[in-house]
A and B are shown apart, each in its own frame.
Chain A
């Protein structure tokens, strides 16, 4: 967990939030976001990520702790004085105003002269390729177009920090993926700081500089996407990010960063000791499906090998997805690239699979 540093642009320090005075929705949150960073808060619903965003925007007050923006505490600053742009889940475009009026709104309340406003509106609309839609009402736009306008409205007054609360949740898959790239490119081009909330891990991995995984009011892990995916710190993160195979067992011995685990099924395997402290502890082994190999020619020399029975083979175009029975786990998934020399498995077949010890991580027993 990253502690607040001097160079941070947004800081949460020991922030807690409770709605009813009995349970904490956010528990002791410490978070520092650098200037120009794209940080995503990822987590299941009810994990406290949206509450954090709302506290930052000023719509919720922190029960305890301090939130700083550019070094200045903003706990007591009302939302309209924070100068933070925000994109809402359902866009919240004002239905009684045209697109141009929506964009003009933040500029008008700042008392900007008309000529300057028009110039900025035109520029913001061009930025999201919606220059021709200034006279339309939000209801006359498609979901994707509304999304762009919402983005333009949050950016038109040139805030240094933009918050996005599941902005792509209402779009279909293809449009969503397209918008992900657009937002990412805008972020890169404008150099703004973005705090993005989503429960979609693909979105988080695709767009972010760093991802903070929330669960139960606590940040479970905050890291760049590759670290998060390849080196999850606990079984919640491993399970939540991407697909994951688990094998439960007990630690037999620990040696440096390696440990030996006896699976409940009887097998003994080696793994990277991430979250285990002493022999005798329960652990859960995590292996990513694409790191498991069954093709003998591609198997690394030092791979750990184990027998498995094929239960189901699914052809998915670019990959094969095979469900296996491995050490008693009947939901053991492996993913293989659809290459010309790749063999297609048949249900009932008994094969030998293997993985490198580095890809096998012993985490806490959830």
Chain B
């Protein structure tokens, strides 16, 4: 190889890399030269890109995430979820006492944090009745374990004092910080800031795990939710239940030296004589819904941070202890709706194609003056509000409407046999075909415009009849337009919402109407997100199939 090859227009280095005039590799020089252009191009796109990312992609991603997100259950009911893990849901028997105790504690905390109705709502999607059960129980929790509280206070009035509890459970350094804060508040009032968040003493937590855990949760809950201080509030009766359970569980207090050690030892000695309390029985007394094994199975099934439950529900399926099963026949709705949405969308696409193809052909072949007029007529619907167009179809199609009146008047149908054309599938198909027609006509037109008339002439001069010339020559050349129009109309109609809502009645609504219902009325966003995701995947799969069969390169919009 020579040092320079003038034929290639530039010198070549020993490695065979093309060099620019200044000796740098040509690729590097090119990249440098184009960097400014690239940067400028990017800056031109940047505002829209940012807008799309923030206002479109991020919400969609969030929405899609909601279709599998289930954090509210493990976060609101952590103790229950942990206890349920040890319960065999296939045994057919109710969960053990510990599960009920955990549920009571979780609900008590959730009630304080006003979350119990929300988690109830969430579980209600999966099992009807949970919401009202949680709400009803939430009101009665403050009385559960009252007998135990009375027993403890009866043993020693110190158990009724908030200070006793704070000293017993609170970590020493927290108590110091709290005392300093109290002194500050005495001087400065509200300027002292919030009370330091309660911390339990690790030693007592090891000794009395349930009491320490639940009392700490209680203290923090009243601190954050109510702005109260544990030094002034006596704990919930359920905290006494926790202490009772720790003590009767055989906590070894012999070497405990912390505050109120003697009080604790006395209580431990007295506990066997306390009246036996069953939280399970109390909860069953509040509502026998707690005795429903299937509900507990549901709660266990939906206790993970992520769930496929929304997707299963969106496909008319549910989780059972034996695995995934279809829901009862009479409660299936979504698969039918998906299927109907698909079928009607295909029908509408075909209808727009059949109606739009001749119009597009005419548009492409008329002299410019007439074509423009026709194009305006085609575009006219675009300039009219969607609602107005849909409402107009209501006027036309209803049983006392224009079309029925006309048919009766010319005697085609009798007055008592007026056609039902609205509030059903017919209405949806007619109105949507009209509304989406321009989306078919315009791509067809723009493709047909590029097919020279000489092709048809050539075919005829070669001996083809009008039909053969059209079918063998013109039609194949117009396929890209058909593809573009069909994709456009199909994708638009598969997600259409307003028109089916207004003219579809019950038999003509689409899956998107159901999604809207879940978004704005039932507020089951997770299910709405799952339905939306399935719709999105369905469209992507169709798009991919189309690409494999026809080739997306063959789609021309203009």
A105–B460 CA distance with the chains assembled, in angstroms: 11
In the complex formed, the residue of B with least CB distance to A153 is: B462
Which residues, 214 to 267 on B, are CB-close (under 8 Å) to A?
none
Choose among A85, A90, A93, A110 the residue that contacts B461 (Cβ–Cβ < 8 A).
A85
Please name all residues of chain A whose beta carbon is closer than 8 Å to the beta carbon of B469 when the two chains form the complex: 80
Contacts of B463 in A (CB 8 A): 80-81, 83, 106, 109-110, 157
B468: Cβ under 8 A from any A Cβ = yes
Q: Which residues 257-312 of B have a CB within 8 angstroms of A?
A: none
The residue on A at minimum CB distance from B468 is A109
A109:B464 contact, CB within 8 angstroms: yes
Residues of A near B476 (CB, < 8 A) are 96
In the assembled complex, the CB of B252 is this many whole angstroms from the nearest CB of chain A, namely 90
Query: Beta-carbon contacts of B454-465 to A below 8 Å, as 1s and 0s?
Result: 110111111111
A239 touches B (CB below 8 Å): no
Please report the number of residue pairs spanning A and B whose Cβ atoms sit closer than 8 angstroms.
67
Residue of B nearest to A83 (CB): B463
Identify A105's interface contact among B457, B466, B472, CB under 8 A. B472
Over the window 70-96 of chain A, the binary record of Cβ atoms lying under 8 Å from chain B Cβ atoms (1 yes, 0 no) is: 000000001111111110111011111
Q: Within 8 Å of chain A (Cβ to Cβ): is B477?
A: yes
B460: chain A residues within 8 A (beta carbon): 58-59, 78-80
Residues of B within 8 A of A89 (CB): 454
| Residue among B460, B465, B466 facing the most chain A CB atoms (10 A cut-off) | B460
Complex Cα gap A88–B455 (Å): 9
Q: Which of B465, B468, B473 contacts A94 (CB 8 A)?
A: B473
- Among residues of B, the one whose C-beta sits closest to the C-beta of A110 is B463
Question: From residue A50, how far is it (CB to closest CB) to chain B in Å?
Answer: 12
Determine if B477 and A96 form an interchain contact, defined as CB atoms under 8 angstroms apart: yes
Quick check: is A62 within 8 A (CB to CB) of the other chain?
A: no
B477-A86 in contact (CB<8A): no
Residue A90 contacts which of B454, B468, B473 (CB distance < 8 angstroms)?
B454
Q: Which residues of B contact A194 (CB under 8 A)?
A: none
- Per the 8 Å Cβ criterion, residues 92-125 of A in contact with B are 92-96, 105-106, 109-110
Q: State whether the Cβ of B23 lies closer than 8 Å to any Cβ in chain A.
A: no
**Cβ–Cβ < 8 Å partners of A324 in chain B:** none
A195 within 8 A of B: no
Task: Please state if A79 and B461 are interface contacts (CB–CB under 8 Å).
Answer: yes
Known A-B contacts A105-B459, A105-B472; the reply to A92 vs B464 at CB < 8 A is no
The answer to whether the Cβ of B157 comes within 8 Å of any Cβ in the partner chain is no
Measured between alpha carbons, how far is A91 from B273 in the docked complex, in Å? Answer: 109
Interface flag for B347 (CB, 8 Å): no
Contacts of B358 in A (CB 8 A): none
Chain B residues with CB below 8 A from A95, complex form: 477
Let me know if A109 and B452 touch, CB within 8 A: no
Please indicate the chain B residues that have their CB under 8 angstroms from the CB of A213 in the complex.
none
Residue of A nearest to B469 (CB): A80
Residues of B within 8 A of A84 (CB): 461
Verify if A39 is at the interface (C-beta below 8 Å from B). Answer: no
Residues on B with C-beta less than 8 A from A92 are: 452, 454-455, 457-458
Tell me the residues in window 144-174 of chain A with beta carbons closer than 8 Å to chain B beta carbons. Answer: 153-154, 157, 163
- What distance in Å separates the Cβ of A144 from its nearest Cβ neighbour in chain B? 19
| Residues of chain B contacted by A153 (CB below 8 angstroms) | 462
Nearest CB in chain B: distance from A221 CB, A: 29
Q: Of A59, A78, A90, A105, which is within 8 A of B462 by CB?
A: A105
Q: Which residue of chain A has the shortest Cβ distance to B462 in the bound complex? A: A106
Q: Which of A41-57 contact B (CB under 8 A)?
A: 57
> Which one of B452, B458, B461, B477 has the greatest number of beta carbons of chain A within 10 Å?
B461
- A86 and B465 contact, Cβ closer than 8 Å, known pairs A92-B452, A96-B476, A96-B477: no
Establish whether residues B462 and A109, one from each chain, have CB atoms under 8 Å apart when the complex forms.
Answer: yes
CB pair B462–A57 under 8 Å, yes or no, is: no
A residues less than 8 Å from B472 (CB atoms): 105
The CA of A85 and the CA of B468, in the complex, are separated in Å by 17
- Could you tell me the distance in whole angstroms from the C-beta of A93 to the nearest C-beta in chain B? 8
User: In the assembly, what is the distance between CA of A110 and CA of B469, in Å?
Assistant: 13
Q: How far is B461's CA from A351's CA once the two chains are assembled, in angstroms?
A: 59
- Candidates A83, A90, A154; contact of B452 at CB < 8 Å: A90
Which residues in chain B, 472-506, are within 8 Å of chain A measured between CB atoms?
A: 472-473, 476-477
Complex Cα distance, B104 from A127, in Å, reads 96
Say whether B458 contacts A88, CB under 8 Å. Answer: yes
Q: 20 other contacts beyond A59-B457, A80-B460, A110-B463, with CB at 8 A cut-off?
A: A58-B460, A58-B461, A79-B457, A80-B464, A80-B469, A82-B461, A84-B461, A85-B462, A86-B458, A89-B454, A92-B454, A92-B458, A94-B458, A96-B476, A96-B477, A105-B464, A106-B462, A109-B463, A109-B468, A153-B462
By a beta-carbon cutoff of 8 Å, the part of chain A in contact with chain B is: 57-59, 78-86, 88-90, 92-96, 105-106, 109-110, 153-154, 157, 163
